[in-house]
Amino acid sequence: MPFTATVLTMFPEAFPGPLGVSLIGTAWREKGLWALETLDIRGFSADRRGFLDDTPAGGGPGQVLKADVVARALDSLEGPQRPLLCMSARGRPLTQARVREWAAGDGVVVLCGRFEGVDQRVLDARGFEEISVGDAVLAGGEAAAMVVIEACVRLIPGVLGEAASTQEESFEDGLLEHPQYTRPRSFEGLDIPEVLLSGDHKRIARWRREQREAATRERRPDLWAAHLANLQLKGQ
């Protein structure tokens, strides 16, 4: 059975969205390298009016997605156990390392939060891992779920076609990616760096490494510190 992403959402019509286009979409619709399922959690409300939420315990604004509704939706799923992810601004940051772990398995089950959040009891009882895709708050978890799924799917062998295309990307070895260029040679007075036109592969590799290090040091000091610590552990 291929890698399967199952999304628990109030808005199944939001999918596949960008997951249905380009190489990711072709790998799903034509090659069958992965599968996408959506489960409308509205169908699991015990309320005859279909309510999924209630007011926060202790007071406060907004509504909270009910634990029993989410539990019934999750418990209806069949097949192998997969990591349970809840998209949440208070979750742990999404990392490429975690993505690689998920991509190597049977798939993921992704809960898209709404309102003020999800009743913590169902997250704890079912073992959900809360994941954030950045330090910003979204109206719901659907867009964030697509980010996680695409990040996983593109690592599945055969999806991108060329495995080497992922080897020097941002985060794969703790550094950001180097800048990219293509024709025309000159654009609005800006030229492609001469080293990239030299044909000297050693010089090009060294330049790209230097660019990756410089970008990481400037833009992500947290990653740069971790990179230096890792080099120190390796005695480099």
Q: What pLDDT is stored for residue 50 in this prediction?
A: 80
Q: What pLDDT is stored for residue 168 in this prediction?
A: 59
Domain that holds residue 199: 168-233
- Cβ neighbors of 144 (< 8 A, separation 6 or more) are 87, 112, 131, 132, 133, 138
CA angle 101, 102, 103 (to 5 degrees): 95
Q: What pLDDT is stored for residue 163 in this prediction?
A: 62
Chain centre distance of CA 156 = 14
SS3 for 61-95, per residue? Answer: CCCEECHHHHHHHHHCCCCCCCCEEEEEEEEEECC
Query: Running DSSP on this structure, what letter comes out for residue 117?
Result: -
Q: What pLDDT is stored for residue 162 in this prediction?
A: 67
Q: What pLDDT is stored for residue 173 in this prediction?
A: 84
- How many other CB atoms are found less than 10 A from the CB of residue 53? 19
Measured CA to CA, the distance from residue 235 to residue 105 in angstroms comes to 33
Measured CA to CA, the distance from residue 135 to residue 119 in angstroms comes to 21
**Final residue before a domain boundary, out of 128, 153, 178:** 153
Q: What pLDDT is stored for residue 164 in this prediction?
A: 45
The whole model's pTM is what?
Answer: 0.92
Whether residue 119 is found in the same domain as residue 147: yes
Whether residue 19 is found in the same domain as residue 110: yes
Q: What pLDDT is stored for residue 234 in this prediction?
A: 85
Q: What pLDDT is stored for residue 47 in this prediction?
A: 84
Query: Given the DSSP bridges, would you call strands 84-93 and 64-65 parallel, antiparallel or unpaired?
Result: unpaired
Residue 161 lies in a domain: no
Measured CA to CA, the distance from residue 15 to residue 225 in angstroms comes to 38
CATH of the domain at 46: 3.40.1280.10
Measured CA to CA, the distance from residue 27 to residue 159 in angstroms comes to 6
Whether residue 213 is found in the same domain as residue 112: no
Residue 114 lies in a domain: yes
pLDDT in tens, the chain (236 residues): 899 999 999 999 999 999 999 999 999 999 999 999 999 999 999 887 888 999 999 999 999 999 999 999 999 999 999 999 999 999 999 999 999 999 999 999 999 999 999 999 999 999 999 999 999 999 999 999 999 999 999 999 999 976 645 565 778 788 999 999 999 999 999 999 999 999 999 999 999 999 999 999 999 999 999 999 999 988 87
**Final residue before a domain boundary, out of 153, 187, 215:** 153
Q: For residue 227, which of 178, 156, 175 has the smallest C-alpha distance? A: 175
